[in-house]
Structure 1
């Protein structure tokens, strides 16, 4: 075994480049990418990312995008990929937490009558509509309405929580009432605590709203998105031959993306263009707590553009 292959065999927060990445490209059949912080920042593609995705697809690799961003339906993602210069990305390649939540409600929970109370955005409702999952069509509350006098619907089968920039105390109170029924499912698109914005600002994530409802009800939500395994199960159920041993998960957040890969039996790669940095990964690697070892990536690159020289060598 040459030096590059030997380095690939040594796991645990290892920087890889050149020949080492080339061995990974040979060894892996499927590549799973987070979106924000990995292949784009807002409306700017990470330099080189469109070429990397195109090169993987041209070589017949399975390429999937796994995102906890529940605000957009998949069709909107397709348009964004095109707008940012990514070619060949189809809707079936995209697995968002809102899409997977709709699949869970339709295929696993098999919600039929009643409906789903949504604490979330229109993108979540659009995925539910497309999947044929009934949800409450709530009219605007009367000004000044409170939980003491507002209308509550009968037969609610599930409460689904995601990102909601129109979140109100009344929504929290209504969801809490529905979840007093032990047969009412409690689902969350994801548990992300926050997302980075410009100038050091942050946007509170879906996990904040879920935590509020967990405290109010004394119940724990079933999380659909990363780091739950369900998102990978959606991929493997729709695409035959997706072997965890031949998959690489590439992400920028240790507590979400790397843990997701670990939970699913995938090799993991941290790219340093997003939330987590090498120092964070090294700190986890030194921890004696076994749970924190699951946050440690197998490999580290500065950016997924580091793949490009390996493609040139293979051509």
Structure 2
């Protein structure tokens, strides 16, 4: 049976800190929940930076652009600049740019995707409401498709509606139309225990069910994000740490890319999940087990303080 992740403590913190130079950290569920810092995550991350660790913010969230995420970091007292932000909307734009894409994109998602596409000069439309008006069957007579759409990007869609699914699916009827998912997260972490907020994966799966073909996935656990960062900043996987709260994206991403991994239990993954995966005979579940764990990122602070005192 595989071992559970090791709790970071005073006994292993020195060896742990020596094992990496770069930190890739997820955001939602690790650093903040909506607009609230989780514990002392900002102080913990800033202290890791002060130790000389290079920080990158790696998020599947496509609703915001890099500039918007930098502004949020500053508002919540995280040190950040635009070059350190790697979000799925940005990766989507770079992917299409690298494909020498010259046509128009239909966005079934939020404005963050639109802003990143604009930054690389790619035409787009769709990041706005399109509610159902009248009977659903009237759409076959009232809906018209724009010419020269060569890609559909689906992310977390705040304007999700039947017309938007129909429009996205209709473009993808053309087998040459590129189908991109910013990410496939099942749910979005929120700080209300009685509610579940669907993630981008719910929107993606809806379109995928209609068109009967899989998308190209930009976000974790796909290796696309790490390839981008590694190429640009010459990262050594064996000297890189991935911190996340969602094991089937963040930690699996780390494992897929050969990184050290740390799971925090302040978001999606809980201790009972880790125990269940460790006890499972399914080897795919074992891949979800991180190297280390902490209840939350702020628990780094007393460990770092004790380490400095030694």
TM-score by length of 1: 0.90
Equivalent runs, 1:97-108 vs 2, <5 Å: 97-107=88-98
Q: What is aligned with 1:226?
A: 220
The partner residue of 1:135 within 118, 121, 124 is: 124
Structure-2 separation of matches of 1:290 and 1:261: 16
Equivalent runs, 1:1-12 vs 2, <5 Å: 12=4
The partner residue of 1:254 within 247, 253, 262 is: 247
Structure-1 separation of matches of 2:127 and 2:87: 24
Does the 8 Å CA contact 1:282/1:296 hold for their aligned counterparts? no
**SS of aligned partner of 1:295:** coil
- The total of aligned residue pairs comes to 302
Q: What is aligned with 2:198?
A: 204
Structure-2 separation of matches of 1:302 and 1:24: 17
TM-aligned CA distance change 1:140 to 1:69, over 3 Å: closer
Give the root-mean-square deviation of aligned CA atoms.
Answer: 2.0
Q: What is aligned with 1:147?
A: 140
TM-aligned CA distance change 1:295 to 1:77, over 3 Å: same
The partner residue of 2:101 within 101, 111, 116 is: 111
Does the 8 Å CA contact 2:183/2:201 hold for their aligned counterparts? yes
Structure-1 separation of matches of 2:81 and 2:128: 35
TM-aligned CA distance change 1:278 to 1:137, over 3 Å: closer
**SS of aligned partner of 2:12:** helix
The partner residue of 1:162 within 133, 155, 161 is: 155
Q: Does 1:267 align with 2:260?
A: yes
Does the 8 Å CA contact 2:33/2:189 hold for their aligned counterparts? no
Unpaired segments ≥5 residues, structure 1: 1-9
Deviations 1:116-142 (A, max 9, x none): 111011111111111212213689869
Structure-1 separation of matches of 2:17 and 2:189: 30
**SS of aligned partner of 2:55:** strand
Structure-2 separation of matches of 1:14 and 1:266: 16
Q: What is aligned with 1:6?
A: none
Structure-2 separation of matches of 1:70 and 1:21: 34
Structure-2 separation of matches of 1:166 and 1:223: 21
Equivalent runs, 1:1-315 vs 2, <5 Å: 12-87=4-79, 89-107=80-98, 109-112=99-102, 114-136=103-125, 143-144=133-134, 146-197=139-190, 198-240=192-234, 242-312=235-305, 313-314=307-308
TM-aligned CA distance change 1:220 to 1:282, over 3 Å: same
Residue 47 of structure 1, CA deviation:
2.2
Structure-1 separation of matches of 2:290 and 2:42: 23
Unpaired segments ≥5 residues, structure 2: none
TM-aligned CA distance change 1:139 to 1:76, over 3 Å: closer
Structure-1 separation of matches of 2:128 and 2:242: 41
TM-aligned CA distance change 1:106 to 1:229, over 3 Å: same
Deviations 1:200-252 (A, max 9, x none): 20111111111111111110011100111111111112212x11111111111
TM-score by length of 2: 0.91
Residue 99 of structure 1, CA deviation:
1.0
Does the 8 Å CA contact 2:221/2:249 hold for their aligned counterparts? yes
